[in-house]
Structure 1
Amino acid sequence: MMGNLGQILLQLLRFAIYAGVHVLLISRLSLFNVGWCLFYLGFLLFLPIATPIVLLLVLSFVTGFTMDLFYDTGGVHAAAAVLLGYLRPWVLKLLTPRDGYDAQDSVNIHQMGWQWFLVYLVLLVGIHHFAFFFLELGSFSAVGLTLLKVLASTLFTGVTMLIVQLLFFPAKRRR
């Protein structure tokens, strides 16, 4: 019972860190005014692999809704985050290693390898950003500029998540 409480508190702390860093620091950065880093996605991307789908969807909605409250975006962050949460188990299943995942595994570049991590990251962040920017636009009127935003933002967010993984995630498996 104490282990579960510790895990819940750890995840709440992780959420606060990702959301806080995004709102206070990262949201002010842009890449040539066409690319933005949606740093809060790290919370959803790096959850333990065994996270139940219902909990993942609830956490995705809460994370996206929190960003919508800060940026007054009317549910765009929530919708795109829930899409990411819905597709994450499918992408994990698609990328399952030959020996499968261990119960305590989390998304970790050191354990899963560069190729696995980059495919995981590009698929989920790319789909999230595609949905986010087209929902934000509300039409298909400026497809070229919107696709440029998706590409630049996916690159910016992906590189940032890669740096976070290399700096803050352990190279050794926890027992």
Structure 2
Amino acid sequence: MSVLGVLVRQLLRFGLYAGMQVFIVGQLSLFGLGWCFLYLGFVLFLPLGTPIVLQLLLGFGMGLAMDISYDTGGLHAAAAVLLAYLRPWVLRLLTPRDGYDAQDTVNVHQMGWQWFMVYLLLLVSLHHVAYFFLELGSFQHPLLTLARVGVSILFTSTALLIVQLLFFPVRRTRS
């Protein structure tokens, strides 16, 4: 695929994730305690070969778009940049014995359930801890904040897993 094709595809993904978050998912709450941050899928499901600087810029751009939409003063941008920064570290931590292929993507069908769930839960958890403690601005109510973090992790992870299962293709090898 050409560079222009990749760029257009990523711009469409950006618009789709941002639009779904702002217009549909952002209105959902689980027991008034947990929220779904579907827009994280944009950063989490970037191609494995994406340079770190580009990941940081895309994370900042997506976070800034959410901050503008929800008037959250940089909370989403800060947490999304942290997510984009930690993503390569987690990918290195989870590198298969044979390494990643050039064509590999973050895909539950391609990487396997165990790899994908560790990747997803670890990065979503780190993002949510950063986001909710930044939102609170202190450690005054740690149990309520941890409850919000836990419920939101489950809500976001479940939504992103559903996105993976519905919209990411199963690549079958020919034998």
TM-score > 0.5 by shorter chain: yes
Say if 1:173 and 1:59 are closer, same or farther in 2 by CA, change over 3 A: farther
Q: Could you list the runs of 5+ residues in structure 1 that have no partner in the other structure?
A: none
Partner of 1:42: 41
* Residue identity matched to 2:43: L
Q: Could you list the runs of 5+ residues in structure 2 that have no partner in the other structure?
A: none
Displacement of 1:162 after TM fit?
Answer: 0.4
* Residue identity matched to 1:112: M
What value does the CA root-mean-square deviation take over the aligned residues?
1.1
- Distance in 1, Cα, partners of 2:91 & 2:172: 19
Partner of 2:125: 126
Runs of 4+ aligned structure 1 residues displaced above 6 Å come to: none
Displacement of 1:105 after TM fit?
Answer: 1.3
Question: Are 1:100 and 2:109 an aligned pair?
Answer: no
- Distance in 2, Cα, partners of 1:173 & 1:31: 36
Q: Any idea what the Cα deviations from partners look like across 1:22-77, whole Å, max 9, x if unmatched?
A: 00000000110001000100000000011000000000000001100001101000
Displacement of 1:102 after TM fit?
Answer: 1.0
- Distance in 1, Cα, partners of 2:84 & 2:42: 11
Partner of 1:137: 136
- Distance in 2, Cα, partners of 1:136 & 1:103: 38
- Distance in 1, Cα, partners of 2:7 & 2:101: 20
Give the TM-score normalised by structure 2.
Answer: 0.97
Partner of 1:158: 157
Displacement of 1:173 after TM fit?
Answer: 6.2
Displacement of 1:104 after TM fit?
Answer: 1.9
State the percentage of identical aligned residues: 66
- Distance in 2, Cα, partners of 1:68 & 1:7: 26
Give the TM-score normalised by structure 1.
Answer: 0.97
